[in-house]
Amino acid sequence: MIEESVILVVCAAHGFIIMQLSASRLTVERGGRILFSDLSFAIETGGSLTVTGPNGAGKSTLLRVLAGFLPLAGGTLSLTPASGETLAEQAHYVGHADALKSLLTVTENLEFLGPMLDAGRGGMAVEKALAAFGLSHVAGLPAAYLSAGQRRRVALARLLVVKRPVWLLDEPLTALDAASQGLMAQIMAAHLAEGGMIVAATHTYLGLAGRELRLGAVP
């Protein structure tokens, strides 16, 4: 009995369960034009995938496909072990838009996203997540008054407020200063260490150790 409880504690401290995100022979169409076809990759627990490529190569489209916003023209996408939740419900999507209501305060924005995105995995209290991103002093300000970098950090703070295993990040470091970029690198490393997965589309170096997927140029 004692050994069993010890094992349980170890599993809980590990964070997410062991899972694999695999894509095989993905084909994606956008406006009647095939962006890429026969794209395959797999990411294991604690792994990351950096998607690079020139403008228009389909980096953002790939992330939107993974988040379930766009349909697949071909191929399969699966997260194993299978659960009742879809990939979209287990993934955080941080896109170009910050998804903040300008009229609501920073705290109100995150207090809404917390329950909305929570799927029983819990997460950090809003004040703690804001403190982690160095935003405590703007917590009571309407989002409209924030700078582009601060808005970005609030958008990224929801990664901590709600725990989800897969992070889909589209240009996560846009508008961030050097200190915040370092901070984000630490937070991503901690997420991977906890057993999460990251798929990030970027033009800059993110410091992720995982594989790189280079999407081709548009003819």
Note the residues at the interface with other proteins (CB under 8 A).
15, 64, 67-71, 85, 88-89, 91-93, 95-104, 108, 111-126, 128, 142, 161, 163, 194
Pick the closer one to other proteins by CB: 140 or 211.
Answer: 140
Residue 138 is inside which H or E element, if any? none
The distance of closest approach from Cβ of residue 61 to other proteins in the complex, given in angstroms and rounded to an integer, is 10
Q: How far is the CB of 210 from other proteins (least distance, A)?
A: 22
Least gap, CB of 32 to other proteins (angstroms): 11
Nearer to other proteins, 103 or 209 (CB): 103
Rounded to a whole number of angstroms, the minimum distance from the CB of residue 75 to other proteins is 17
- DSSP 3-state of 185: helix
CA–CA distance from 180 to each of 5, 101, 148, 169, 194 (Å)?
39, 22, 13, 15, 21
Strands, sheet with 20-30, edge to edge from the N-terminal-most edge strand: 33-44, 20-30, 74-80
Distance CA 12, CA 17 (A): 9
> 94 or 176, CB closer to other proteins?
94
Q: Of 193, 200, 201, 113, which Cα lies nearest the Cα of 159?
A: 113
Cβ-based nearer residue to other proteins, 96 or 219: 96
